[in-house]
Amino acid sequence: MNKPAGYSPSRQGAILMTLLAFGMLFLSTKGKAQQSKWQQVDQYLSSGQYRDALDILRYLDGDAYSLALKQGICYYGLNQLKTAQDYFTQAYQVSKAPDADLYFWLGQTYQQQLRFEPAVQQYKAFLRVAKASDQRRDQVKELIRICGNGIRIQYQDQLGYLEVFPAQINTAYDEIAPRFSPNYSDRIYFSAQRFPETGKGYDMMGIEIQNGSWSNPFEFNPSLNTIADEVLYGFANQGQEAIYLEQLPGDRTILVDTFNQSQQVHRGVWKSSMQPNRGDDYLYIYHDSLILYSSNRAGGYGGYDLYASRKDHGNWSAPLNLGPTINSPSDEITPFLTNDGQILYFSSNRPDLTIGGFDVLFSRLEDTWSAPENLGLPVNSAANDLQFSIGPEGKTGVFASDRKESVGGMDLYFFYFKEIVSAQMAMIQDQITWFRQLMPSDSTYGGHGDRPAITVEIPYLAYGEDDVLLTPVNLKHLQLLVTLLKQHPAWTIDIIGHSDNQQTKEYNPFFSIKRSEKIREYLTQSGIAENRIFLEGCGSSFPVALNEINLLPNPSGQRLNRRIEFRIHSSPEEIVHFIYQQPAVVPHFQDTAYRAFEAFTAGLKYKILVQQATRPYYDHRLDAYPGFTIEQLAGQSTYDYTIFAANTYFLANQLKRELRNQGFEDASVVAYVDGRRLLQNEIRNYTDKYPDLIYYQYRSE
């Protein structure tokens, strides 16, 4: 056979080899591109960008199981449960051996649809195939318990009917904190995000019924909405004033204003026992005479607890914990009290009562609070159901929820009761008796059985540029402390000196502890044993106010930073709530550095003891580390120079080694609980509560 001109076997082989090489290069490049896209999908899923992940998955090639599973997760995140279930079913069909991920997501999907029995089946299948190291195992065990609650609750009689607010009200962003108007029967106020991508926060909005339908949202009062987040809490002064939270990064303030747009606005700080910058939140105002709110302050039963404070002669009482019937080791938030003061509604995520996330519970005040009960379907769901309140006519309710049937984020829901809530239509008959029932005494509960606790306010001392500490005002405060310490001989006290930034870094902490020594001298001369006193000098490490503004001295802030604080430590047998007074700092003067100091006084923390000396010590290399302070234990002649370390011994020990490598050869780790330095013989008393101390106890230096 004649061969084509130019043909040769060697040339044909070369062409084939070239084509193969190009083919392999193409496949390699395509494979890398595919791998990169899968990685991008995982990043989108972890950050909640489900639409972006879905856009990539629709055009990806690869494992059919992974494609179906990840598309199902996307549709679950987009609140399209039926489509998500279809994809999970598809993944199940193409998989020879379904893994733990698939069973987990099927369980989640069934639970969110309130199909609790099949959800339990999927969760149990998850436990059978999940590895022992899978961190979701404990979570799934709790979810099985929660689904058991749902199986029981779903057959209870429902109290009414649910209405979802229309699309012009509920959006893909958050709508929260609904409140019935105190003045208009057909109006509801709430807070909402509208354009968060522009940096705009929550604004206060209103809606009302017009011609039988809900209106478009309108601004509550345009002059009150700012670039900050504004979240409506409620109303005071018989409905004439709005109480709301204004939140900026690092600062939360409760404000009060008239909200009638025809009136001039008088913005001011609303003062009560609530401290929003220290974990207090979800305020509810009851008849101008009582406030309820949630707090994660120390001394509760775990997480957020509900507290009450009553107004007497114009002053709010110290916060009182509502006790172990209402509060639990889980979180209790968003309280609402009926008009007669007899039924308390609140949300909790306690696993023995919820059917998923936070559920609305209620308790009746008889002689004492009754055991809380789940309000049931359809108010509660497998998601978070919060901020429930009842209208003034007792027929309707409103709340917020992020359930999977919502448009997106938190949405608002309206509820119609089958029967009027009579407790909302009545008034308190005997207010004195009611107060006693609400809070049996001026004591509270601390989370250790039913032992009563006391609440004690601890003052601070201010001093001027002349360093005079024993002023007439400060002497009154010191005499109060002396009386307390004598009444409670097991208590110990920390004296903590703070100052402004007008002195050098070398001497500022040293001068601070010298001021603390003067206060110790006053206490010991008044009969307080020196072994009950711990000293600390912080210098300008933790200002409450800005020492400078735009690089210029701020005399007002410097004045507020010149102070001596105290921390009291009670014995384990006592339950005491200490309220530490602070200088009043306007928001634009506040310095966020003080929060690091406050955080250190809660729970287990570690410091690094860098140096012991009898005179001022300073090394510029320590400027790179936060929390430089000087301490002195009772009976110790030297000063301990320390820096903040970490919450775990492992991380603290790493920092210790780093400092030793830099030449600080004597650096060592020291432990603190609630800001109190632990002595070696005290460690075993805290290891049950803080197991991390076991590593510290048996450390090897």
pLDDT for 332-378, tens place per residue?
999 999 998 999 999 999 999 999 999 999 999 987 899 999 999 99
Q: Mean pLDDT score of the chain, rounded to an integer?
A: 86
Question: Are 65 and 166 part of one and the same domain?
Answer: no
Give the pLDDT of residue 28: 52
**Structural domain contains residue 222:** yes
**Structural domain contains residue 50:** yes
Give the pLDDT of residue 298: 80
Phi then psi for residue 318, to 5 deg, are: -60, 150
Name the domain boundary from 388, 407, 439.
439
- pLDDT category, 199, cuts 50, 70, 90? low
Give the pLDDT of residue 18: 47
219 forms beta bridges with 205
Say how many C-beta atoms besides its own lie within 10 A of residue 460's C-beta. Answer: 17
666 CA to centre of own chain? 38
Domain count of the chain? 4
Which runs of E-coded beta strand occur in 467-525? 492-498
41 CA to centre of own chain? 30
Question: Are 397 and 326 part of one and the same domain?
Answer: yes
Spatial separation of the C-alpha atoms in residues 510 and 503, rounded to whole Å: 10
Give the pLDDT of residue 32: 67
Question: Are 196 and 148 part of one and the same domain?
Answer: no
Name the domain boundary from 133, 153, 173.
153
Spatial separation of the C-alpha atoms in residues 681 and 671, rounded to whole Å: 12
**Structural domain contains residue 506:** yes
| Radius of gyration in angstroms for the set of CA atoms belonging to the chain, rounded to a whole number | 31
Do 274 and 287 contact (CB within 8 A), yes or no? Answer: no
Residue 91 tokens, joined:
């993944």
Phi then psi for residue 532, to 5 deg, are: -100, 5
Spatial separation of the C-alpha atoms in residues 687 and 15, rounded to whole Å: 75
Q: Over 60: is that where the pLDDT of 665 sits?
A: yes
Work out the angle between the directed axes of helices 100-112 and 116-129 (0-180°, nearest 10). 160
Spatial separation of the C-alpha atoms in residues 644 and 647, rounded to whole Å: 10
**Structural domain contains residue 339:** yes
Question: Are 138 and 190 part of one and the same domain?
Answer: no
User: pTM of the predicted model, to two decimals?
Assistant: 0.60
Question: Are 655 and 583 part of one and the same domain?
Answer: no
Give the pLDDT of residue 268: 84
Do 618 and 511 contact (CB within 8 A), yes or no? Answer: no
Q: Over 90: is that where the pLDDT of 17 sits?
A: no
Query: Which residues have CB under 8 Å from 358's CB, separation 6+?
Result: 331, 333, 347, 348, 349, 384, 385, 386
Residue 511 tokens, joined:
């001068």
C-alpha to C-alpha distances, 42 to 50, 52, 53, 54, nearest whole angstrom: 10, 11, 8, 11
- pLDDT category, 458, cuts 50, 70, 90? confident
Give the pLDDT of residue 502: 87
Spatial separation of the C-alpha atoms in residues 697 and 676, rounded to whole Å: 16
**Structural domain contains residue 429:** yes
Give the pLDDT of residue 50: 92
Highest mean pLDDT pick, 391-400, 401-410, 588-597, 684-693: 391-400
Spatial separation of the C-alpha atoms in residues 120 and 118, rounded to whole Å: 5
Over the stretch 248-279, which tens digit does the pLDDT of each residue have?
Answer: 888 899 999 876 555 455 568 898 999 998 88
- pLDDT category, 430, cuts 50, 70, 90? low
**Structural domain contains residue 456:** yes
For the residues 223-243, what does the mean pLDDT come to? 88
Give the pLDDT of residue 26: 43
Which of the residue ranges 28-42, 61-75, 460-474, 590-604 would you say has the lowest mean pLDDT? 28-42
Question: Are 119 and 184 part of one and the same domain?
Answer: no
Q: Which one-letter DSSP state was computed for residue 472?
A: H
Q: Over 60: is that where the pLDDT of 603 sits?
A: yes
State which residues form the domain around 321: 160-439
Question: Are 346 and 475 part of one and the same domain?
Answer: no
Over the stretch 524-558, which tens digit does the pLDDT of each residue have?
Answer: 999 999 999 999 999 988 899 898 888 888 898 89
Helix (H) or strand (E) holding 678: none
Give the pLDDT of residue 266: 55
Name the domain boundary from 601, 616, 640.
601
Which of the residue ranges 380-384, 446-450, 609-613 would you say has the lowest mean pLDDT? 446-450
Task: Tell me which of 701 and 119 has the higher pLDDT.
Answer: 119
For the residues 124-132, what does the mean pLDDT come to? 94
pLDDT > 90: what percent of the chain? 51
For the residues 41-62, what does the mean pLDDT come to? 89
**Structural domain contains residue 2:** no
Task: Tell me which of 188 and 201 has the higher pLDDT.
Answer: 188
Give the pLDDT of residue 170: 94
Question: Are 276 and 192 part of one and the same domain?
Answer: yes
Question: Are 317 and 403 part of one and the same domain?
Answer: yes
Spatial separation of the C-alpha atoms in residues 62 and 35, rounded to whole Å: 10
Question: Are 295 and 323 part of one and the same domain?
Answer: yes
Task: Tell me which of 414 and 425 has the higher pLDDT.
Answer: 414
Q: Over 50: is that where the pLDDT of 449 sits?
A: no
What's the CATH code of the domain at 52?
Answer: 1.25.40.10
Give the pLDDT of residue 306: 94
H-assigned helices in 410-462: 431-438
- pLDDT category, 75, cuts 50, 70, 90? very high
- pLDDT category, 441, cuts 50, 70, 90? very low
Highest mean pLDDT pick, 314-323, 389-398, 442-451, 574-583: 389-398
Spatial separation of the C-alpha atoms in residues 219 and 209, rounded to whole Å: 15
**Structural domain contains residue 500:** yes
Spatial separation of the C-alpha atoms in residues 111 and 99, rounded to whole Å: 19
Antiparallel, parallel or unpaired: β 359-364 and 373-374: antiparallel
Question: Are 403 and 297 part of one and the same domain?
Answer: yes
Say how many C-beta atoms besides its own lie within 10 A of residue 222's C-beta. Answer: 12
Highest mean pLDDT pick, 6-20, 30-44, 385-399: 385-399
What's the CATH code of the domain at 522?
Answer: 3.30.1330.60
Q: Over 90: is that where the pLDDT of 312 sits?
A: no
What's the CATH code of the domain at 394?
Answer: 2.115.10
Give the pLDDT of residue 310: 85
Q: Over 70: is that where the pLDDT of 196 sits?
A: no
Question: Are 528 and 553 part of one and the same domain?
Answer: yes
382 CA to centre of own chain? 21
Spatial separation of the C-alpha atoms in residues 104 and 135, rounded to whole Å: 12
Do 615 and 648 contact (CB within 8 A), yes or no? Answer: no
